Amino acid sequence: MKRCWAHSFILPLMVITVLLGMMTALGSCKKVPKDGNYCAKVTYQKENSKKTGNFTLIVEVKNNQLVDISFPEGYYDISAIKPVDIPADGKFTAVSASGYVYKLQMIGPAEKCQKAVNMVQCKGTTSSGKRCQRYTDNKSGYCWQHKK
């Protein structure tokens, strides 16, 4: 039986196409931070205000989104942060429900901030009985929400 020259190219071409598709799909996977606490440079500003504040703080990430910012000795804004995905470069802007705009740059694990600003994980427990994930520099060891 005589084989058509086109058939000898179809199978290798199909294999190459599938491999290129797989490589493209794998190469486009974005690396996201694991759930937990991280150190970040934070610049915040109230909407329509020129006043800004700059801190190096511990932030909590869950499902690749900013969940909480641990301000030292209390808090500035306790409203919820509107969901925003954290890009691979770690630079992003988040806005709280009360109108604060946060520009963040993730800089590494939480330990980097703990040493820099003498912060510890809150001793408090949540309503579900788990340890609070916020960090504080309060001498009592409790964050603003659990401070007695």
pLDDT 10s digits, 3-56: 565 555 565 666 566 666 665 555 455 567 788 889 898 888 877 778 777 788
Asked, for residue 78, whether it belongs to a domain, the answer is yes
User: How many domains does the structure of the chain reveal?
Assistant: 1
**Per-residue confidence band for 111, with pLDDT thresholds at 50, 70 and 90:** confident
Asked, for residue 11, whether it belongs to a domain, the answer is no
Asked, for residue 145, whether it belongs to a domain, the answer is no
Asked, for residue 81, whether it belongs to a domain, the answer is yes
3-state SS, residue 23: helix
> Which domain range does residue 55 map to?
36-136
Asked, for residue 142, whether it belongs to a domain, the answer is no
- Could you tell me the CA-to-CA distances from 93 to 5, 66, 82, 83, 101 in Å, in that order? 57, 10, 10, 10, 7
Output the pTM of the full model. Answer: 0.62
pLDDT at residue 142, as a whole number: 86
Segments of 96-140 assigned E as strands: 100-109, 120-121, 135-136
Asked, for residue 45, whether it belongs to a domain, the answer is yes
Asked, for residue 113, whether it belongs to a domain, the answer is yes
Q: Does residue 105 register a pLDDT over 90?
A: yes
